[in-house]
Amino acid sequence: MYDCALGFDAAEAALEEFTAPPRRPGQTEIERAVRTLIAAAGDDPDRAGVIDTPARVARAYREWFSGYAIDPARLLERTFGEAEGYDETVLLRDIPLVSTCEHHLAPIVGKAHVAYRPADRVVGISKLSRLVEAYARRLQLQERLTRQIATTLYETLGARGVAVVIEASHGCMSTRGVNQHGVSMVTKCWLGDFRDDPALRRELLESLGGCR
Protein backbone atom coordinates (compact mmCIF):
# COMPACT_ATOMS: atom_id res chain seq x y z
CA MET A 1 0.00 0.00 0.00
CA TYR A 2 1.33 3.41 -1.00
CA ASP A 3 0.40 6.50 1.00
CA CYS A 4 1.22 9.98 -0.26
CA ALA A 5 1.15 12.82 2.29
CA LEU A 6 2.66 15.98 0.86
CA GLY A 7 3.03 19.43 2.36
CA PHE A 8 2.07 22.56 0.38
CA ASP A 9 5.49 23.17 -1.11
CA ALA A 10 6.02 19.51 -1.97
CA ALA A 11 2.60 19.30 -3.57
CA GLU A 12 3.29 22.39 -5.64
CA ALA A 13 6.60 20.96 -6.82
CA ALA A 14 4.95 17.65 -7.65
CA LEU A 15 2.37 19.27 -9.93
CA GLU A 16 3.82 18.71 -13.35
CA GLU A 17 3.51 21.43 -15.96
CA PHE A 18 1.47 20.40 -18.97
CA THR A 19 3.62 19.99 -22.04
CA ALA A 20 2.59 19.05 -25.53
CA PRO A 21 3.16 15.38 -26.26
CA PRO A 22 6.05 14.39 -28.54
CA ARG A 23 5.30 13.66 -32.17
CA ARG A 24 3.31 10.48 -32.50
CA PRO A 25 4.19 8.03 -35.25
CA GLY A 26 1.85 7.99 -38.21
CA GLN A 27 -0.64 5.26 -39.04
CA THR A 28 1.78 3.38 -41.29
CA GLU A 29 4.55 3.38 -38.67
CA ILE A 30 2.18 2.13 -35.97
CA GLU A 31 0.80 -0.65 -38.15
CA ARG A 32 4.32 -1.74 -39.08
CA ALA A 33 5.26 -1.93 -35.40
CA VAL A 34 2.16 -3.99 -34.56
CA ARG A 35 2.94 -6.40 -37.40
CA THR A 36 6.37 -6.86 -35.85
CA LEU A 37 4.80 -7.63 -32.47
CA ILE A 38 2.44 -10.17 -34.06
CA ALA A 39 5.42 -11.87 -35.67
CA ALA A 40 7.29 -11.74 -32.35
CA ALA A 41 4.37 -13.56 -30.73
CA GLY A 42 4.93 -16.39 -33.22
CA ASP A 43 2.03 -15.69 -35.57
CA ASP A 44 1.78 -14.69 -39.20
CA PRO A 45 0.92 -10.97 -39.61
CA ASP A 46 -0.68 -11.83 -42.96
CA ARG A 47 -3.03 -14.46 -41.52
CA ALA A 48 -6.67 -13.61 -42.20
CA GLY A 49 -7.59 -13.36 -38.51
CA VAL A 50 -4.96 -10.72 -37.74
CA ILE A 51 -4.54 -8.95 -41.05
CA ASP A 52 -6.60 -5.98 -39.81
CA THR A 53 -5.21 -6.07 -36.26
CA PRO A 54 -2.53 -3.39 -36.83
CA ALA A 55 -5.17 -0.85 -37.89
CA ARG A 56 -7.40 -1.81 -34.95
CA VAL A 57 -4.52 -1.41 -32.50
CA ALA A 58 -3.68 2.02 -33.93
CA ARG A 59 -7.26 3.15 -33.29
CA ALA A 60 -7.27 1.60 -29.82
CA TYR A 61 -4.04 3.39 -28.90
CA ARG A 62 -5.60 6.75 -29.74
CA GLU A 63 -8.33 5.98 -27.19
CA TRP A 64 -6.21 4.25 -24.53
CA PHE A 65 -3.69 7.09 -24.45
CA SER A 66 -5.94 10.06 -25.15
CA GLY A 67 -4.88 11.66 -21.86
CA TYR A 68 -1.65 12.95 -23.37
CA ALA A 69 -3.66 15.45 -25.44
CA ILE A 70 -5.45 16.89 -22.38
CA ASP A 71 -4.27 19.58 -19.96
CA PRO A 72 -5.81 18.25 -16.70
CA ALA A 73 -5.72 21.62 -14.94
CA ARG A 74 -7.91 23.20 -17.61
CA LEU A 75 -10.67 20.74 -16.76
CA LEU A 76 -11.03 22.52 -13.41
CA GLU A 77 -11.09 26.09 -14.71
CA ARG A 78 -14.85 26.50 -14.42
CA THR A 79 -15.97 26.61 -10.79
CA PHE A 80 -19.16 27.56 -9.00
CA GLY A 81 -19.77 29.83 -6.04
CA GLU A 82 -23.41 28.93 -5.50
CA ALA A 83 -22.72 26.27 -2.88
CA GLU A 84 -23.94 28.55 -0.05
CA GLY A 85 -20.65 28.40 1.82
CA TYR A 86 -20.51 24.60 1.85
CA ASP A 87 -17.13 23.67 3.32
CA GLU A 88 -17.46 20.00 4.24
CA THR A 89 -16.01 17.08 2.31
CA VAL A 90 -17.16 16.51 -1.25
CA LEU A 91 -16.59 12.89 -2.24
CA LEU A 92 -17.04 11.18 -5.60
CA ARG A 93 -16.73 7.43 -5.10
CA ASP A 94 -16.13 4.50 -7.42
CA ILE A 95 -14.91 6.40 -10.49
CA PRO A 96 -14.10 3.69 -13.08
CA LEU A 97 -10.41 3.66 -13.87
CA VAL A 98 -8.61 2.08 -16.80
CA SER A 99 -4.93 2.75 -17.30
CA THR A 100 -1.82 1.07 -18.68
CA CYS A 101 1.26 -0.02 -16.75
CA GLU A 102 4.33 1.65 -18.20
CA HIS A 103 6.56 -1.33 -17.41
CA HIS A 104 4.74 -4.07 -19.37
CA LEU A 105 1.98 -2.20 -21.25
CA ALA A 106 -0.50 -4.31 -19.28
CA PRO A 107 -3.88 -2.99 -18.14
CA ILE A 108 -4.54 -1.39 -14.77
CA VAL A 109 -8.25 -1.67 -13.93
CA GLY A 110 -9.98 -0.43 -10.83
CA LYS A 111 -11.70 2.56 -9.29
CA ALA A 112 -10.74 5.91 -7.87
CA HIS A 113 -12.27 7.83 -4.98
CA VAL A 114 -11.69 11.58 -5.06
CA ALA A 115 -12.54 13.92 -2.17
CA TYR A 116 -11.89 17.59 -1.48
CA ARG A 117 -12.81 20.25 1.06
CA PRO A 118 -13.63 23.45 -0.84
CA ALA A 119 -12.40 26.85 0.21
CA ASP A 120 -15.09 28.99 -1.39
CA ARG A 121 -15.84 27.41 -4.74
CA VAL A 122 -16.77 23.96 -5.98
CA VAL A 123 -16.27 22.21 -9.30
CA GLY A 124 -18.76 20.19 -11.34
CA ILE A 125 -18.65 16.53 -10.28
CA SER A 126 -18.14 15.33 -13.85
CA LYS A 127 -14.86 17.25 -13.88
CA LEU A 128 -13.53 15.02 -11.08
CA SER A 129 -14.18 11.98 -13.23
CA ARG A 130 -12.62 13.66 -16.26
CA LEU A 131 -9.55 14.56 -14.18
CA VAL A 132 -9.07 10.90 -13.27
CA GLU A 133 -9.51 9.92 -16.93
CA ALA A 134 -7.03 12.53 -18.18
CA TYR A 135 -4.20 11.10 -16.09
CA ALA A 136 -5.26 7.45 -16.31
CA ARG A 137 -5.24 7.42 -20.12
CA ARG A 138 -1.45 7.50 -20.18
CA LEU A 139 1.38 5.10 -19.43
CA GLN A 140 1.30 5.09 -15.66
CA LEU A 141 2.39 3.88 -12.27
CA GLN A 142 -0.49 3.75 -9.82
CA GLU A 143 1.48 5.65 -7.19
CA ARG A 144 2.21 8.51 -9.60
CA LEU A 145 -1.36 8.51 -10.93
CA THR A 146 -2.71 8.95 -7.40
CA ARG A 147 -0.37 11.85 -6.68
CA GLN A 148 -1.06 13.60 -10.01
CA ILE A 149 -4.81 13.60 -9.50
CA ALA A 150 -4.50 14.87 -5.94
CA THR A 151 -1.97 17.63 -6.55
CA THR A 152 -3.76 18.95 -9.62
CA LEU A 153 -7.06 19.21 -7.74
CA TYR A 154 -5.38 20.72 -4.66
CA GLU A 155 -3.43 23.39 -6.51
CA THR A 156 -5.84 24.28 -9.30
CA LEU A 157 -9.00 24.43 -7.21
CA GLY A 158 -7.30 25.93 -4.15
CA ALA A 159 -9.00 23.36 -1.95
CA ARG A 160 -8.40 23.25 1.79
CA GLY A 161 -7.77 19.55 1.54
CA VAL A 162 -7.74 16.75 -1.02
CA ALA A 163 -7.78 12.99 -0.68
CA VAL A 164 -7.42 10.45 -3.47
CA VAL A 165 -7.68 6.69 -2.98
CA ILE A 166 -7.22 4.25 -5.85
CA GLU A 167 -7.87 0.51 -5.76
CA ALA A 168 -6.79 -1.39 -8.86
CA SER A 169 -5.69 -4.75 -10.20
CA HIS A 170 -2.67 -5.01 -12.47
CA GLY A 171 -2.48 -7.21 -15.53
CA CYS A 172 1.30 -7.37 -15.22
CA MET A 173 0.76 -9.32 -11.99
CA SER A 174 -2.28 -11.41 -12.90
CA THR A 175 -1.28 -12.51 -16.42
CA ARG A 176 2.48 -13.00 -16.10
CA GLY A 177 5.20 -13.37 -13.49
CA VAL A 178 3.56 -14.55 -10.27
CA ASN A 179 0.18 -15.00 -12.07
CA GLN A 180 -1.85 -14.03 -9.02
CA HIS A 181 -5.52 -13.19 -9.54
CA GLY A 182 -7.87 -11.29 -7.27
CA VAL A 183 -5.08 -9.11 -5.90
CA SER A 184 -5.65 -5.36 -5.73
CA MET A 185 -3.31 -2.51 -4.92
CA VAL A 186 -4.43 0.47 -2.84
CA THR A 187 -2.73 3.86 -3.07
CA LYS A 188 -3.64 7.02 -1.16
CA CYS A 189 -2.68 10.67 -1.23
CA TRP A 190 -3.63 13.10 1.54
CA LEU A 191 -3.14 16.85 1.11
CA GLY A 192 -4.02 19.85 3.29
CA ASP A 193 -6.76 19.14 5.84
CA PHE A 194 -6.69 15.42 5.10
CA ARG A 195 -2.98 15.27 5.73
CA ASP A 196 -3.19 17.20 8.99
CA ASP A 197 -6.36 15.75 10.53
CA PRO A 198 -6.43 12.00 11.31
CA ALA A 199 -10.15 12.20 12.12
CA LEU A 200 -10.90 13.39 8.58
CA ARG A 201 -8.90 10.50 7.14
CA ARG A 202 -10.76 8.00 9.30
CA GLU A 203 -14.12 9.51 8.35
CA LEU A 204 -13.26 9.29 4.66
CA LEU A 205 -12.05 5.70 4.85
CA GLU A 206 -15.17 4.72 6.78
CA SER A 207 -17.33 6.26 4.05
CA LEU A 208 -15.45 4.07 1.55
CA GLY A 209 -16.21 0.96 3.59
CA GLY A 210 -12.58 0.40 4.44
CA CYS A 211 -11.68 0.52 0.73
CA ARG A 212 -13.41 -2.74 0.00
77 is catalytic: no
Q: Is 42 exposed, middle or buried (0-12, 13-18, 19+ CB in 10 A)?
A: exposed
181 is catalytic: no
170 is catalytic: yes
pLDDT at site 8: 47
Average pLDDT of 155-182?
Answer: 90
pLDDT at site 212: 53
113 is catalytic: no
pLDDT band at 21 (very low <50, low <70, confident <90, very high): low
- Residue 149's closest CA among 66, 39, 75? 75
Point out which residues pair with 167 in neighbouring strands: 111, 186
pLDDT in tens, 45-79: 999 999 999 999 999 999 999 999 999 999 999 99
Q: Among the options 113, 140, 148, 170, which is catalytic?
A: 170
pLDDT in tens, 90-113: 999 999 999 999 999 999 999 999
103 is catalytic: yes
Q: Among the options 4, 101, 113, 133, which is catalytic?
A: 101
Mean pLDDT (the chain) is 90
